[in-house]
Structures are given as C-alpha cells and as structure tokens.
Amino acid sequence: MTTVAEPDEIFAPVPPRRLIVSVYGLYARERGGALSVSSLVRLLGGLGVDGQAVRSAVSRLKRRGLLEPQKVGGAAGYRLSPALADVLAEGDERIFSRRRAGAGEGWLLVAFSVPESARDQRHQLRSLLIRLGLGTVAPGLWVAPAHLEAEVSHALDRAGLRGYTELFRSRHVAGRPLRETVASWWDLDALAGQYSAFVARQEPVLHAWRDADGEPEQAFADFVTLVTVWRRLPYLDPGLPLEALPESWVGDRAEELFGDLRARLAGPAREHVSTVLDP
C-alpha cells in the first residue's frame, strides 16, 4: 500500500522554494521562463517571505538544477531549467485539469525488476512511482488508472528507468469488491485526511473573499498558497474512479473548493503580478 504524509503538513508554513516553483509555473513561463531576483523578492514579500529567504531558496533550486542564471532586463535573474519546465508542463494537467477515471476504463500495471547491483535505480524507480501516485499491488507490481499510461511512460523514459519496467493494461474482473481492492492499493484513510485538511485550511479563505473584495496583492498571496498546497494532492490521488472510493468522498469537496478559489483569485492575482513585472 502506498502511504501518504500526515495531514498536519497541509497546515505547516509553505517553504519558500515551493512558493518560488509555483510562481515560476504560474507566471514565468509566459514571459520566456525567466524572472529577476528583485521581482521574486518583491512578489514573495507579499507572502511574508523576506529577501534573504528568497535568495537562499533560489540558490538551492539552482544547485538542484531546477533554475539557471539569466539576466532579466540587465538585472540578476534565473530561468527555468529544461527539467523543471518539463515537470511543470506535465503538472498543468494534473493540477488544473485532472481527469477522474471511470470504473470501466481499466488499470495500468507497472511491473519492475531491478538487479541488486542497481539498487540506487530501484530506490529511484520506487520514488518516481510514488511521486506519480501509483498504488502498490505487490512488491514489484504497481497500479494506476489506465489514462495515466502516457504520463507514466514519459516519466520513466525521462528518468532513464524504462528498461527496468514492463507496462500492461488490465481490468479488474474477479476477487474482492473494487472498493476493498483499491483500499489495499492506496491508503485512502490518510488521503482523506489530506483532503480534509486542505478543505479546513482553504474554506475560510473562500468565505473571506465571498464576504468582501480583497486587494490584488492579497489575491496573489492566497492564490499562490492555494496552488502550492493543492499541487501535491492530485499526485497522491491520481484520479481514482469514484466507484472505487468511499461514499461521500471528501476529495470531491476539495476539488470543488480549489476550482472556486481559482476562479475567484486567478484574475486579480495576475493583475498584481503585472504591476510588479510590468511597472
């Protein structure tokens, strides 16, 4: 069974590096992929992150090969690396247009065998499958909704791990009821806890915006935080069919809440970004 982080993580302060990745994903790509450090400092200041923390986080992202130095208007700045640009492009569909499978669409099975001499690749492969949200059927056999075939295949190719795997399409035709089976592949109780924590954190934000219009800078802060906190959830739940999930699945409410806040905040947040980047 694939395990899920504790719900407390949803309420924890968001690390600056994760906020920076969200800012690049939301706003830098439409501007050639680069932002100046001074613009990042100003934007993140609205989220309560001081300049030194921004610069330290950018340096860490650079060391990890996710950002690359580039002058922006003559000022020091950074652009997305090809690796991070690829990950962000893939993430767009998961985060903003996630598809929920139907029970009759079948499953993708990923079987792998990694020799003892390549144990580092075994760890890398397992980490990749967990990051993509696959469930565990048995040691060496992982499962996902069938519509993720292209995404999983591309991720394996990009990581150079395809040679250790075999991919199959399958249907669940016999055995325990589907809900019991899926609950043995994914930790649905922990996943529900993550969704519930997201709802508890974000519902007050929606209520505040319904009660009164806020400033574009506040919309930016709330929207970037929303996307950053939400970003992991569509990977923990890779669009599992509702028929395979518990009744009154809290993930539905969480997804609806994300959509409502996105519709309300994205426009004024972009206005604020324009005032900072296009004064």
* Interval 56-103: pLDDT, tens: 999 999 999 999 999 998 899 999 999 899 889 988 988 998 889 987
| Mean per-residue pLDDT, 266-277 | 95
Q: Is 42 helix (H, G, I), strand (E, B) or coil?
A: helix
**C-beta neighbour count of 7 within 10 angstroms:** 18
pLDDT level of residue 4 (50, 70, 90 thresholds): low
Instruction: Indicate the average pLDDT of the chain.
Output: 91
Band (13; pLDDT cuts 50, 70, 90): confident
Neighbours of 112 (CB within 10 A): 21
Side chain identity at residue 256, one-letter code: E
With a cut of 90, say whether residue 117 has pLDDT above it: no
Q: What confidence tier does 3 reach under pLDDT thresholds 50, 70, 90?
A: low
Rounded to whole angstroms, how far apart are CA atoms 250 and 192?
6
Percent of the chain with pLDDT over 90: 72
Q: What angle do CA 245, 248, 252 make, to 5 degrees?
A: 80
Tokens of 107: 């499953």
What's the rounded Cα separation, in Å, for the pair 49 and 42? 9
Average pLDDT on 139-168 reads: 92
State the DSSP H helix or E strand holding residue 135, giving kind and residue range, or none if neither: strand 135-138
- Tell me which of 22 and 279 has the higher pLDDT: 22
The arithmetic mean of pLDDT across residues 165-180, rounded, is 86
**Calpha distance 57→229 (Å, rounded):** 17
Q: Give the per-residue SS3 of 7-31.
A: CHHHHCCCCHHHHHHHHHHHHHHHH
Q: How far is CA 73 from the centre of its chain?
A: 31
Beta bridge partners of 135: 143
Three-class DSSP category at 65: coil
pLDDT for res 177: 86
Quote the pTM value. 0.89
pLDDT at 279 over 70: no
- Lowest-confidence region among 118-122, 146-150, 219-223: 118-122
**Per-residue tokens: 166:** 């075999």
% of the chain with per-residue pLDDT over 70:
96
Cα–Cα distance, 167 to 107 (Å, whole number)? 10
